[in-house]
Amino acid sequence: MFFKKITLLTVFIFSVSLTAQIDEKKLDKLITQTLKTFEVPGISVGILKDEKIVYSKGFGVRSLTNQKDMNQNTLVGVASNSKGFTCFALAMMVDEGKLNWDDKVRKHIPEFQLQDAWVTAQFTIRDLVTHRSGLSLGAGDLMFFPEGNDFTVKDVISNVKHLKPESSFRSEFMYNNNMFIIAGEVLKRVSGLTWEEFIETKIMKPVGMTNSKASYNRVTNKTNIIDAHTMADGKIIQIPHDWSETANAAGGIVSNVTDMLTWAKFLMNDAITKDGNRLLSEQQFHELWQLQTTMKVGKNDSYNSNFKGYGLGWFLTDVKGGYKQVYHTGGLLGTVTQFTMIPDLDLAIVVLTNQMNGNAFNTITNTIKDSYLGYKDRNWIKNYGDKNADFIAYNDSIKTSVFNNVELAKKNPNLPKPNQIVGTYKDNWFGNVTITHDGNTYNIKCERSAALIGELVPYNLTTFVAKWNNRSFDADVFVNFTFDENGSATNATMNYVAPITDFSFDFHDLNLKRTK
């Protein structure tokens, strides 16, 4: 009896520690410090606990230009947090009998084709949305990233056959946006609605997400919307919104803390709306949060996780000894977001920012999560702040070294002459990249992606550096030439100058052959 009493008391104390609300003033202070530490102009944060909003605030400014306050209703591109909506929509089609997760993609898109004929024939709807295609991280993202290219969904479907696999089919997790673009086309063909129409009318409206839109271009009232910001040459600057409408099914949704908490409440209420309507069967809703593609748990995992992986549009893991966590992040140029749910605790955390530094949302989310899981203060702001400073310094040192070498290389009399490298280089899926010389400098231009234009500067006898005119990209690349026996360039490949470059700048996937 004594043991039982002690056990019950221990359970009671432990359960209280897991449901204690985070101190509001301390959280206010932390977010304010986070703005400064990671140089983020604006952040909005929301917490849902036990079906109630216990925190919903904005900090800083939505734009460095207009200096207007960020608040809980400020619209932000949630980016890849859109993927959960895409899979929810597909699950609704499964409920209606219009498709099956294990339907072959070619049943709905006959022209779909990958490099390998067997993989093409076996590739399913489930494979589209679980990042197990075998293609490399971000493969083909240059077809929609950055904005200003002319690729269509039809082009994406046609061009994925040219992308070279990095691993065998279904063997590894490698994040891929283009498969979600194709999944959006499946939804369109089986539902008769565009992806945008379906998301807004069949999901957002009944759920009660009154201020959200399926894409940036569908936002008619932009009086309370962020501007994007990023670090460019050591300074935080405002940049234009950047997202191609082609990729909406992978990351197009624009929302705010208020609506994303509404989405979280709906999901943790078993996909039943506030009006009592079930939008998805129990079976299909259960399927969304089942592990499909496994990932490795880090050796020094901070939450004692036993498993990690990807479900249908969601990352999945366990925290603090078995609490299932369902989550996703999202990133655009100048914006990063994080959406986290721990259904067992009826807890959801939303962090939206207008600067592309994920250390900011990790600091806030982990601090909030820790307070409900019973961890003592682990000083995440110092942890991530130190890592952020070290990472920036590391990248800056690489860039400094590279461009010091560029200055030295300019004096080398044995550098290739213009006639050796000037010309048009073609990649099978990305199209033409042209190199010109105006008598003084080399220039590089990607014909189908208007924003990718810059100067080509020598690095050594066979390698140049493409220095993009838009410095906010932070995506300069080495251009490595292969020469024939006459000293004329025949091919070129690219790879990042520094690891800070966003993976969606997948220049490394290009195989450029000189055509003239």
Joined together, the tokens standing for residue 103 give 């339907």
Residue type present at position 68: K
Quick: pLDDT tens for 159-214.
Answer: 999 999 999 999 999 999 999 999 999 999 999 999 999 999 999 999 999 999 99
Q: In what order do the strands lie in the sheet with 323-332?
A: 52-60, 42-49, 347-353, 335-342, 323-332, 315-319, 308-310, 293-295
Residue 194, SS3 per DSSP: coil
Full set of structural domains in the chain with CATH: 39-52+74-356 (3.40.710.10), 412-514 (2.40.128.50)
Task: Give just the sign of the alpha carbon dihedral 91, 95, 99, 103.
Answer: positive
Q: What is the reported pLDDT for 242?
A: 86
Burial code of 47-62, b = ≥16 C-beta within 10 A, e = fewer?
A: bbbeeebebbbbbbbb
Instruction: Kindly provide the residue ranges of all beta strands, DSSP E only, lying in 256-295, ordered along the sequence.
Output: 293-295
- What letter represents residue 458's amino acid? P
Q: State which amino acid sits at residue 473.
A: F
Under a CB-based contact definition with an 8 Å cutoff, are residues 411 and 477 in contact?
Answer: no
Q: What is the pLDDT of residue 20?
A: 56
Strands 453-458 and 442-446: antiparallel
Distance (Å, rounded) from C-alpha 165 to C-alpha 139?
Answer: 9
Q: What is the DSSP string of 309-356?
A: EE-SSSEEEEETTTEEEEEEEEEETTEEEEEEEEGGGTEEEEEEESSS
Q: Which residue has the tokens 């400014």?
A: 61
At residue 234, the pLDDT reads 83
Residue found by looking up tokens 């600057």 in the block: 237
248-304 confidence digits (pLDDT tens): 999 999 999 999 999 999 999 999 999 999 999 999 999 999 999 999 999 889 999
User: How much is the pTM?
Assistant: 0.94
The pLDDT score that the predictor gives to residue 454 is 98
Q: For residue 22, what pLDDT is reported?
A: 80
Q: How does strand 489-496 pair with strand 254-255?
A: unpaired
pLDDT at 239: 93
Q: Can you give the pLDDT at residue 63?
A: 96
How does the average pLDDT of the chain come out, rounded? 94
Give me the residues of the chain with pLDDT under 70, please: 1-20
